[in-house]
Every structure is written in structure tokens, then in C-alpha cells.
Chain A
């Protein structure tokens, strides 16, 4: 089955530094990847849609200059949290879609998530 790998699973950084999280589709090519943020005891919030070879589409209220998304290949999307602050601490989850078409056929495969803690 389709597998999405996310790295690192946990990261602790100092305030003001930047952190990169990788999302890889291991056995399939993902034309579209999605980045979610999950707050404690809250649902997943879609941050952006990442399309291979083009700019990411950010959801309303998400700072594109703070959360840089790059989808340079069909198997890799990265999320970089720039100048991280404690309020950016969260659980970030990526997911990948096999391609455009019937939504029913494009079941998302999720990564295991990355817990970011900013001190």
C-alpha cells in the first residue's frame, strides 16, 4: 500500500531558528501533498496544498512567509517553519494524494506526523 514517511518525528529548537520537515511518498508518486497542523485536543487544520512543480496554495490565515512549502519532486514535499516561536509548537502532519480524479479514489495517505517544540 501507499506509504508516506515524515521526518523528523520530533524536533526541539530554539526560538528564532528555522526547522524543516520532510514528507516523502515511498512507493508512489504524489502530485499533490497536503500539510496539516494539529493543536492539542483540536482537529486538523489544513495549512496548504502542495503541488509538484508549482507554488503551494495556502489556506486563509496561514502565513506563507512563515511556513515555506516546497514540492520539488513527485516524492518529496518540505515544510520549513521560519523564525520559529513558541506559538508555532504543534503537531504537523502531511498527507499525499495519488492524483487528480474522483475524490473517492484519491484516499489520502498520512504521514506519522512531526512534533515541533520551540523553546
Chain B
């Protein structure tokens, strides 16, 4: 069984501030980890993914995440928030060849001027 816990349903930052969205996972086998972003009334867009290899993964729009096995974490960061980053962010995990994802409950990122 696998699960994802996203700490904080809402995170508020000021424009230009560091963004940190937390994700912890549980998996009985080596996981594949994903971060998706969802804008209002839209589907999900892949930000980045970790499969194997380098544990620091860079994605689109300046986001990156680091896989830490010892902490079972995959936190998402961005050095400087932009107003356009305001959206819902989902962390997801899978360990099957059929790509059945288990999603966290999401974190709404609010960016203030």
C-alpha cells in the first residue's frame, strides 16, 4: 500500500518569498514521486517527477524537489514566488507499472503582492 501526506491545506507566501510545500510518502517499494499543479477548473499539469538517479529534481516554472529516502519526503520548493504560482499543488506516488497514482489531498498556494 502507498500513501501521501501533504502538510498544510493552505500555504501563504508573499511575492518573491521562498515557496516550500511539504510532501511525505509511504511506500513498501521504491517509489516514483510526482508533483502536479492544478489551476481553477483545469486538469493537472506535471511539474516534475522523481524516478531514479539524481535525488534533486528540477521541473518547470522554477520548481524543484528533493527526494529524501531517510525522511520519506519529497518537498517542493521555489526560491522566489510569483503571483502566477497561485494554484493547488498535488504530490503523488506510484510504484506500479500501470502508473496508478495515489494523490495527496493537495496544498493551495496563495501568493500575495
A44 vs B88: C-alpha distance when bound (angstroms): 12
User: With an 8 A cutoff between CB atoms, is A13 at the interface?
Assistant: no
Q: A43 with B104: in contact, given A104-B51, A107-B46 (CB under 8 Å)?
A: yes
* Contact-residue size bin, chain B (C-beta under 8 Å from the other chain): 20 to 34
**Do residues B43 and A93 form an inter-chain contact, with CB atoms below 8 A?**
yes
Bound CA–CA A39/B43 (angstroms): 13
Which of the segments A64-72, A73-81, A82-90, A94-102 contacts the partner chain?
Answer: A94-102
B100's partner among A6, A34, A93, A112 (CB-CB below 8 A) is A34
Which residues of chain A come closer than 8 Å to B105, judged between CB atoms?
A: 42-43
Decide yes or no: A113 and B100 within 8 Å by CB, A43-B90, A104-B32, A104-B52 being known contacts.
no
Stretch from B69-77, B79-87, B91-99 contacting the other chain: B91-99
A51: nearest residue on chain B (CB-CB)?
B98
Minimum distance in angstroms from A87 CB to a CB of chain B: 20
Complex: A48 Cα to B109 Cα, angstroms: 29
Contacts of B52 in A (CB 8 A): 104
Distance in angstroms from B37 CB to nearest chain A CB is 11
Complex Cα distance A6/B9, Å?
A: 28
The answer to the question of A49 belonging to the interface, with a C-beta cut-off of 8 Å to chain B, is yes
C-alpha spacing A49/B98, complex, angstroms: 9
Task: Please give the residue numbers on chain A whose beta carbons come within 8 Å of chain B beta carbons, in ascending order.
Answer: 4, 6, 9, 32, 34, 41-44, 46, 49, 91, 93, 95, 97, 100-108, 110-113, 115
Q: Other than the known A9-B41, A110-B36, what 15 A-B pairs have Cβ atoms closer than 8 Å?
A: A34-B99, A43-B90, A43-B104, A43-B105, A43-B106, A46-B102, A95-B43, A101-B97, A103-B32, A103-B94, A104-B32, A104-B51, A110-B43, A112-B43, A115-B41
